[in-house]
Amino acid sequence: MTLSRQSALGLYVHVPFCARRCEFCAFYEVPPRRADVERYLACAERELAELHLPRRAETVFWGGGTPSILAPADLERLAGATLGASGGTPEEWTVETTPATCRADRLAVLKNSGVTRVSIGVQSFDEAILAGLGRLHTTAQVSEAIGAVRAAGIGNLNLDLMFALPGQTLEEWERDLRTAIAAGPEHISTYCLTIEESAPLFARLARGRLSRRTPDEEAAFYERTWDLLEAAGYRQYEVSNFARPGYECVHNLNTWRMREWAGVGPAAASQLGLRRYANAANLARWAEGVEKGAPARTDEVILDEATLATDAVVFGLRMVEGVDLAELAARFPSHDWAEVARKASELEGQGLAEFDGRSLRLTRRGRLLADEVALEFF
Ligand SMILES: C[S@@+](CC[C@H](N)C(=O)[O-])C[C@H]1O[C@@H](n2cnc3c(N)ncnc32)[C@H](O)[C@@H]1O
Ligand code: SF4
Q: What is the pLDDT of residues 240-265, one digit of tens each?
A: 999 999 999 999 999 999 999 999 99
Residue 312 inside a domain? The answer is yes
Q: What is the pTM (predicted TM-score) of this model?
A: 0.96
Residue 337 is inside which H or E element, if any?
Answer: helix 337-349
Atom of ligand 2 nearest to the CA of 123: 1
The answer as to whether 283 is a domain residue is no
Q: How many domains does the chain have?
A: 2
Q: Provide the 10 A C-beta neighbour count for residue 275.
A: 12
Regarding whether 228 and 367 lie in a shared domain, the answer is no
Same domain, 90 and 170: yes
Query: Among 90, 91, 92, 150, which residue's Cα sits nearest to residue 120?
Result: 150
Residue 136 pLDDT grade (very low, low, confident, very high; cuts 50, 70, 90): confident
Q: Strand, coil or helix: what is 86?
A: helix
Identify the domain boundary among 221, 256, 291. Answer: 256
- CATH number at 9 reads 3.80.30.20
pLDDT at 151 over 50: yes
Domain range for 96 is 3-256
Evaluate whether residue 285 is within a structural domain: no
Looking at every residue in the chain, the average pLDDT score rounds to: 95
Beta bridge partners of residue 366, listed in sequence order: none
> Looking at residue 69, what DSSP letter applies?
G
Q: Whose C-alpha lies nearest to ligand 2, atom 4?
A: 22
Residue 153 lies in a domain: yes
Rg (CA), the chain: 21
Return the axis-axis angle of helices 283-292 and 34-49, rounded to nearest 10°: 40
Would residue 269 count as lying in a domain? no
Same domain, 170 and 316: no
Residue 329's Cβ-side half-sphere holds a number of Cα atoms within 13 Å equal to 13
For the cut 70, the answer to whether the pLDDT of residue 4 exceeds it is no
C-alpha distances (whole Å) from 232 to each of 9, 70, 87, 182, 237 are 32, 35, 38, 10, 14
- Domain boundary (256, 276, 293) is at 256
User: For the chain, what percent of residues have pLDDT higher than 90?
Assistant: 93
Whether 5 shows a pLDDT value over 90: the answer reads no
134: CA distance to ligand 2 center in Å? 10
Nearest CA to ligand 2 atom 2: 65
Separation of 302 CA from ligand 2 center, angstroms? Answer: 31
Q: How far is the CA of 303 from the centre of ligand 1 (A)?
A: 29
What ligand is nearest to the CA atom of residue 121? 1
What CA–CA distance (Å, rounded) separates 289 from 295? 4
pLDDT value of residue 7:
77
Average pLDDT over residues 222-232: 98
Residues 105 and 42 in one domain: yes
Q: Would the CB of 98 count as within 6 Å of ligand 2?
A: yes
Flag whether pLDDT at 146 surpasses 90: yes
Q: State yes or no: pLDDT of 3 exceeds 70.
A: no
Q: What is the mean pLDDT of residues 259-282?
A: 97
Residues 84 and 188 in one domain: yes
| pLDDT single digits (tens) 339-375 | 999 999 999 999 999 999 899 999 999 999 999 999 9
1 pLDDT tier (thresholds 50, 70, 90): very low
